[in-house]
Amino acid sequence: MVLSPRGGFPNSPLPVLLYRAALAGADAGACEARFAAADWVGAWRDGIYGFHHFHSTAHEVLGILAGSVAVMLGGPEGRRVQLRAGDAVVLPAGTGHCNLAADGELLVVGAYPGATSWDLRRGDPAELDEVRANLQKVPLPAADPLHGADGPLPRLWREAAARTAPGR
């Protein structure tokens, strides 16, 4: 799904990728190892923040390992998505996300491609120029965090980036 800019949330012309049951039965260590094998590193284990936010300096993968969560993607006026244990979602840099409601068992493993470091933005319209400049510098990952170099992400994101490149 491609999410349009909304207020202070730039979102991205790159599609959000949702993988249902791709991590079914995996524990946190196995999930981290799978992400790391595709060079999605800096893994953490926690939940999803309960406020609308995005990262302007890094793409992010979220693997749901336990529980379920309703997530709003794209900012306060975005799209509600239900994620369950085993699901994973890949968020292009700039994509708003917020935990709307989770069960008490929620466990998420997140990671970022390459050695990118992430920032935390809350959709302040006064920051949009800086955010857009940051987004222009975020490289496309070489591999899909779940399926490696042969997964759909590299092709889909390259095609989307080519369609939206300046001058097209």
Domain locations in the chain?
Answer: 17-159
Does the domain formed by 17-159 have CATH 2.60.120?
A: yes
The predicted pLDDT at position 166 comes to 65
Q: Is residue 90 exposed (0-12), middle (13-18) or buried (19+ Cβ within 10 Å)?
A: buried
Spans of the chain below 50 pLDDT: 168
pLDDT number for residue 34? 98
Give the up-direction half-sphere exposure of residue 71: CA atoms within 13 A in the CB hemisphere.
Answer: 30
pLDDT tens-place string over residues 51-71: 999 999 999 999 999 999 999
Would you state the pLDDT for residue 25? 94
Token readout for 79 is 């799209």
Give the pLDDT score at 115.
79
* Number of DSSP helices (H) and strands (E) in the chain, helices first: 3, 8
Q: Which of 91, 95, 94 is nearest to 145 (CA)?
A: 91
The answer to whether residues 53 and 120 touch, using CB atoms and an 8 Å cutoff, is yes
Question: For position 104, what pLDDT does the model report?
Answer: 76
| Per-residue confidence (pLDDT) for residue 57, from 0 to 100 | 98
**Residue 165: predicted pLDDT:** 72
pTM of the entire predicted model:
0.96
- Would you state the pLDDT for residue 167? 57
